Amino acid sequence: MEDFNAIMRLKRGDISGLETLVRKYQTDALHTAYLMLQDQALAEDIVQNTFLRLYQRIEHFDETRPFKPYLMKSVTNAAIEQLRRNKWVVSFDDNAEGLSLAELLPADEPYPEDEMEQAELREGVKLALGQLPPEQQATIILTYFHGLSVNEVAIATETSQGTVKWRLHAARKQLGVYLRQFWTGGLWL
């Protein structure tokens, strides 16, 4: 109801509606954009511009639809566009064919307790994420960071559930390859 009221206020030109939406969703939106772009300033720009576009096009927004998936779709689309413009994305590594994430990195491997190892893991995941095609990055982040279901990710990325499953499969496999290469010192970025 809070989102609905905020959107209706915004449709009447009352920017307090936009403020409500910004304050409620800016953190989730920024986290999503940052995980994809790995650049805070760029991520902030993406999020700010997404809210500004929402403001400009609010007349066309159906207030009965849930707002968060719409926002996440806008943020990930903008981030994908940015990645396509500015970043060379390496192609899928054929060596990963046929191997699952679990096979590449055992699922029972404990999360490191040591701070140095945690920092190393963070860097590894960031570097590996950065190597994924933008659509796969978005799928991984919406699934494993935001905890969205396959159906919700399909809505947010405007694609079919089958495509989401395929992207998850491919992304997991590729992440595994990159993470392994990272830890064995073989990944040059």
Partner 1 sequence: MNKDNLNRALHEIVEHDLPKEIDMWQQIEAKLPKQNKPRGVLRLATAPIAASIVVMLLVLGTASYAMWGPGGGKRDKGLDGAEQAGLFTEINQTVMLEDLEITVTEGYADTQRIAISFEIDEESFDPDADFFFAQLRDQAGNQFMESSGAYGPNRIDLVFSTQILKVDEDGNLIFDQDFSANYMHNIGESVDLELQLYLVDSWMFNVEMDEYRATAFFKFTLPISHAETVEVNQSLSINDITVTVETLKLAPSQSLLTMCYTLPDGQDWQPVTSLTLDGELAQLDGLRLSHLPSPEDTERCMELSFNVFYDQSPSDIVFTVEKLKLSPNEGPAPEYWNEVVRILAEEYDIEVEFVFDEGRGQRLDEISRPDGMADDIFWQTILQAQDDASPGVDGPWIFEISAE
For binding to partner 1 (CB under 8 A), which residues are involved? 1-2, 4-5, 8-9, 11-16, 18-20, 22-24, 26-27, 30-31, 34-35, 40-42, 44-45, 47-48, 51-52, 55-57, 59, 63-64, 101-102, 105, 107-109, 111, 118-119, 121-122, 125-126, 140-141, 144-145, 147, 175-176, 179
Min CB(142)–partner 1 separation in Å: 11
Min CB(159)–partner 1 separation in Å: 21
Closest CB to partner 1 among residues 97, 115: 115
Closest CB to partner 1 among residues 59, 94: 59
- Helix, coil or strand: residue 65: coil
Instruction: Using alpha carbons, select from 189, 168, 31 the residue that is nearest to residue 123.
Output: 189
- Cβ atoms of residues 99 and 173 within 8 Å: yes
Closest CB to partner 1 among residues 31, 169: 31
Min CB(92)–partner 1 separation in Å: 19
Min CB(94)–partner 1 separation in Å: 21
Question: Is the sign of the CA dihedral 70, 144, 182, 100 positive or negative?
Answer: negative
Min CB(132)–partner 1 separation in Å: 13
Q: How far apart are CA 138 and CA 16, in angstroms?
A: 30
Residues 6+ away with beta carbon under 8 Å from 21: 3, 6, 7, 10, 51, 54, 67, 71
Q: How far apart are CA 161 and CA 102, in angstroms?
A: 22
- Helix, coil or strand: residue 155: helix
